[in-house]
Structure 1
Amino acid sequence: MSGTADPRKAGEGTTSRARLDRGRGALGPALELVHTGRAPTRAVLTAELGVTRATAGAVAAELEALGLIRVDARPGAAAGSQGRPSHRLEVAEDGPVALAAQVHADGFRAALVGLGGRIVATAPGCETVDADPAKVLGSVVEAGAELLRTTGRRCVGAGLAVPSAVAEPDGLALNPLHLAWPVGAPVRRIFAECVRAAGITGPAFAGNDVNLAALAEHRHGAGRGARDLLCVATGHRGVGGALVLDGRLHTGSSGLALEVGHLTVNPEGRPCHCGSRGCLDVEADPLALLIEAGRDPGPEVSLLQQANDLLRTQYADPAVRTAAEALIDRLGLGLAGLVNILNPDRIILGGLHRTLLDADPERLRAVVADRSLWGQSGGVPILPCTLDHNSLVGAAELAWQPVLDDPLGALVEVA
C-alpha cells in the first residue's frame, strides 16, 4: 500500500536512533578513556562503557570523524594470540591542541598539548618575569599564538599554571609570593583577555601549578590508577601540594585546599613568608638545600636546576649529603602528617623532591613510615612524578575538559 510505513523499518529506525542517542551520550566518557590510555582497543572500550559492540563502534567512528582519535581496523595480532585482534584506538597525532602556559619564579613557557597529554610544540622559555601580570601573560600567550600559526593546529582552548593559590570563582592569584605580582591579581581574567586579543578560540582557564601537575600525573603519569593521590612538589621556589580524591582534583570550597607549604616541620627554623617559622615552604625547597649545603645561589641558572645539579653531581660531598638528609627528614615529617590526615593510597613527588627521593629513597620512606599512624602496618607507595613539564600538561587538561565532557558541543563552539 502506497504511503504506508513498513512497521519493521520503523522499528529499525527507532532502534538506530536509540543507539545513536546512547552513543552520543557515551562520546565524552569514551574520549576520556582513550585520552587516559585506559581503552587501547575497541573491545576494552565496549567493556568499559557497558554498551554493545555496535554502539562502541559507532562511538569510535564518531570520535574519529571529529578528528580526535584514530581507529586501526587492521592491527597486527600479538605473537601466539588466537582470533581476530580488536580494533586499536589511539589519539589523533594531527588532531586539535590546547594552548598551555606556565609562569614560575624563574620565567615562563608556552606549549601546545594534544590529547593523551602529548606535548606537540614548545616555545623557547623566558627567564624574566615582569611585576605586571598583564605584560607576562600577554607575552606567553603571544608565544603560544606563534606556535599555533606555525603548526596550523586547531585550538580547543587555553590553560594557565601559576605558582599561587587560585581562588574560585573569580580566578584570583592570592599568594604569588615569588613573582612580585600584586596579591589577588585576577590572572584568569587577564589571561582570557590576552587569549581573545591574540585571536585564539576556545575558553581560557587558570589554576595552581602543583594542582595541575597532580591532575596531569593522575591521568597520564605516576598517579594513573590511584584513587586518592597526594602530590607534593617543589619547583623553582616554595613547596606545593595537591590531592586527587576518587579520581577528581580536590581544591576545597574556594580553590585553596592543600597549602602544604605552610606545615611546620622545623619549629626553630627559617622565617616564612606567612609569618610563621620552619614551614615546609622554606625548609625543603631548592634555596633551602643550597643554603643548608653552604652554597651561594648563583644568578646564571634557576635555583631548581642548581639544587638538582648539586644532588646529582656532588652527593658524595659530606656537606651536600648532610644537607640532603636534613631536607629529606623535614619532607618526610610533612608527608607523615599528611598521610595521617588524608590516608592517600599513593604519594608522588615532583621537582627537587623527586631528586631527593632518587638520592635516598629508603631514608624518606623510613621517616614517613616511622611518623605515620598506620605507616608500620601498611606503607603508602612513594613514587617520583614521571611527566616532563607536568604543570604545562595539567594546564592543557583544563582546556581539554570541556571537550572531554561534550566533544560535539565543545568543538562546535570553538569552530
Structure 2
Amino acid sequence: MQPRVNSAAIRRLNTIRVFHALRENPNCAQRDLSRLTGLDKATTSAIVTQLLDDGLVERTEPPRPRRIGRPETALSIAPSAGLLVGARLEPGTIRIVTTTLAGAVLEQAQIPGSTDLGTALRRLHEGIDAAVAASRRADAEAPPVRGIGVGIPALMDRSGRLVLAPNLGWRDTPIRPLLEEALGARVQIDNDTKAAAMAERLFGACRGVEDFAYLTGHSGVGGGLFLGGRLYRGAQGFAGEVGHVTVVPGGRPCGCGKRGCLETYVSEPAILAQAGERGRTLPDLWAVAAAARDGDAAVRGVLEEAGRHLGFALSHLVNLTNPSLVVLGGNLSIVAELILPTLRAALDEHTLEPLRRDLRLLVSPLGPDAVPMGGIALAMEGFLSAPEPIRGILLP
C-alpha cells in the first residue's frame, strides 16, 4: 500500500518553519523566507497570507534602503499577536516569565513555592494572573494568552504524568490535568531541564547546534540532551537524569532513596548544606558566589568539590553521547566561573581525549531564567503544533 500523505500535518510543519524563520529574522522580506525555509515561493506566500489574516504577522517598512522598482515590505511577528507564559515550579520558589509570541520578555516574577500540591497550584495561578495583567497594562488591546508552559523538577513520562519529584515530595501524580483544571487553560508541561534545553535551542547558546548537553541546578541537578537536532527523551521519557549518577558510592543520602547521587553535592540545597557544615550559613547561591570571590576558603572548597563531582559525572555523559557543546544553566550559572577549573580538570582526567578535544563548555546566557524560558519554549511549541494553532486563543 502507498503511504497516505497527511497534508494538514505538512501544512502545519511548513507554518512552523516560516514562523521560526520570522522569529529569528525579524523584518525579513517574503522572498528571503523562501530561502531561509527552503520552501517554494507559492507555499511561502500562502503561509504568509494566512499568518497575516490571522494577525500573527505584520508588514512593516524595511530598515534598509529601497531598491529601484516595486517597494518591498518587511515581515515580523506582530507584538500584539499574543502572550506566552512560562513557569518554573520549585519547592521554594515559583518563577514566572511572560513574553510576546516571538519570545521577547515582557514580565518576570518570583513568588514563594510550596511542597503542598494544592498550595503550589493556587500560587502558580495567582502568579500567572498577576504577570499577565502586568504584561497587558501598556496595551489597550489586551493581547490573548496563546500558551502556557511549566517546567517541574520531576521524572515526567511521555503522557505528562509526574512519576517522581523527590524534592517536591510528589509521586505518581496526574500533574497535567491538575494544572489545566487550576489554570483553566491547556498547559504544556515537561521536566524542568528538558524544558531549559529547549529554551537554549530556541533562544540561547545552542541555536543551530545539533548535539549538545545542557545541565542545570536548582533544587536538584538535571540534564537535557539534544542528539541529531532532537531532544532525546528515552524509552519512557526519563532520559537525562544526570543528577542521579552516583559520584560517591555510599555517600550522602538523596531524596530519590539512593546515596551518593550527584545532586547531593552539586544542587543549591546541597551546596548550602555543605557550606553550613563548614560554619558558613548562607541564604542562596548568590551569597555563596560572593563569599567565594571574597576569598572564603571554606566556601571555595565546597565549590571546588562540586566542580570535581560535576566534571566526573559529565565525563560519562560525554563518553556516551559525544556532544559538541555542554552548557551550564539555571543556578549552576551563578557559580559557574568558580566551579569550572575543577570541572575541566575532572573532564580532562576521565573523558576520552578525542571526545574532549573539541568539546566546548559554555555558561547559559539565559541564566536562572532558563527553566521559565523553557516553559515559553513549551508554550510556543504547543501553540504552533495544535491542530488549529492560529486560532487557538487560550485565555481572554
Q: TM-score normalized by structure 1?
A: 0.80
Q: 1-side partners of 2:21 and 2:339: how far apart?
A: 36
Equivalent residues of 1:192, 1:205 under 8 A apart: no
Q: Deviations over 1:64-113 (max 9, x none)?
A: 332323333432249xx999997544332222112323210212133323
Q: What residue is the counterpart of 2:6 in the other structure?
A: none
2:152 aligned with 1:162: yes
Q: Deviations over 1:203-244 (max 9, x none)?
A: 222111111011001111012111012111111x21111112
Q: What residue is the counterpart of 2:365 in the other structure?
A: 386
- With over 3 angstroms needed to count, the CA separation of the structure-2 counterparts of 1:311 and 1:99, relative to structure 1, is closer
**Partner AA of 2:35 in structure 1:** A
Equivalent residues of 1:138, 1:191 under 8 A apart: no
Deviation, 1:114, is 2.3
- With over 3 angstroms needed to count, the CA separation of the structure-2 counterparts of 1:295 and 1:287, relative to structure 1, is farther
1:211 aligned to 186, 194, 198, which one? 194
Equivalent residues of 1:166, 1:172 under 8 A apart: yes
2:285 aligned to 260, 282, 307, which one? 307
**Partner AA of 2:111 in structure 1:** C
Q: What residue is the counterpart of 2:95 in the other structure?
A: 109
Q: What residue is the counterpart of 1:395 in the other structure?
A: 375
* Equivalent position SS for 1:27: helix
Deviation, 1:163, is 1.3
**Partner AA of 1:127 in structure 2:** P
Q: 2-side partners of 1:239 and 1:88: how far apart?
A: 43
2:77 aligned to 91, 94, 110, which one? 91
Q: 1-side partners of 2:303 and 2:249: how far apart?
A: 19
- With over 3 angstroms needed to count, the CA separation of the structure-2 counterparts of 1:130 and 1:267, relative to structure 1, is closer
Deviation, 1:192, is 0.9
Q: What residue is the counterpart of 1:121 in the other structure?
A: 107
Q: What residue is the counterpart of 2:221 in the other structure?
A: 239
Q: What residue is the counterpart of 1:220 in the other structure?
A: 203
**Partner AA of 2:56 in structure 1:** L
- With over 3 angstroms needed to count, the CA separation of the structure-2 counterparts of 1:359 and 1:130, relative to structure 1, is closer
Q: What residue is the counterpart of 1:14 in the other structure?
A: none
Equivalent residues of 1:23, 1:58 under 8 A apart: no
Deviation, 1:46, is 1.6
1:190 aligned to 156, 178, 181, which one? 178
Q: 2-side partners of 1:103 and 1:72: how far apart?
A: 38
Q: What residue is the counterpart of 1:229 in the other structure?
A: 212
Q: 2-side partners of 1:292 and 1:139: how far apart?
A: 30
* Equivalent position SS for 1:347: strand
In the alignment, structure 2 segments of 5+ residues that lack a partner are 1-9, 137-141
Deviation, 1:39, is 7.0
Q: What residue is the counterpart of 1:18 in the other structure?
A: none
Q: 2-side partners of 1:82 and 1:61: how far apart?
A: 25
Aligned residues: 375
1:71 aligned to 54, 59, 78, which one? 59
1:142 aligned to 126, 129, 137, which one? 126
Q: What residue is the counterpart of 2:323 in the other structure?
A: 344
Q: Deviations over 1:112-164 (max 9, x none)?
A: 23233222224x43224151x13321331233234445512211232221111
Q: 2-side partners of 1:232 and 1:278: how far apart?
A: 18
- With over 3 angstroms needed to count, the CA separation of the structure-2 counterparts of 1:376 and 1:261, relative to structure 1, is closer
**Partner AA of 1:314 in structure 2:** A
Deviation, 1:25, is 6.7
2:233 aligned to 244, 251, 258, which one? 251
- With over 3 angstroms needed to count, the CA separation of the structure-2 counterparts of 1:179 and 1:25, relative to structure 1, is closer
Q: What residue is the counterpart of 1:17 in the other structure?
A: none
Equivalent residues of 2:308, 2:345 under 8 A apart: no
Q: What residue is the counterpart of 1:288 in the other structure?
A: 270
- With over 3 angstroms needed to count, the CA separation of the structure-2 counterparts of 1:137 and 1:26, relative to structure 1, is same
Deviation, 1:364, is 2.4
* Equivalent position SS for 1:116: coil
Q: 2-side partners of 1:153 and 1:67: how far apart?
A: 11
Q: 1-side partners of 2:350 and 2:70: how far apart?
A: 53
Deviation, 1:348, is 0.6
Q: 2-side partners of 1:365 and 1:154: how far apart?
A: 46
**Partner AA of 2:182 in structure 1:** C
**Partner AA of 1:126 in structure 2:** I
Q: What residue is the counterpart of 2:242 in the other structure?
A: 260
Equivalent residues of 1:156, 1:414 under 8 A apart: yes
2:385 aligned to 398, 401, 405, which one? 405
Q: 2-side partners of 1:398 and 1:161: how far apart?
A: 9
- With over 3 angstroms needed to count, the CA separation of the structure-2 counterparts of 1:295 and 1:185, relative to structure 1, is farther
Q: TM-score normalized by structure 2?
A: 0.84
- With over 3 angstroms needed to count, the CA separation of the structure-2 counterparts of 1:95 and 1:333, relative to structure 1, is same
2:301 aligned with 1:322: yes
Q: What's the RMSD between the two structures over aligned residues?
A: 3.0
Larger Rg: 1
- With over 3 angstroms needed to count, the CA separation of the structure-2 counterparts of 1:116 and 1:365, relative to structure 1, is farther
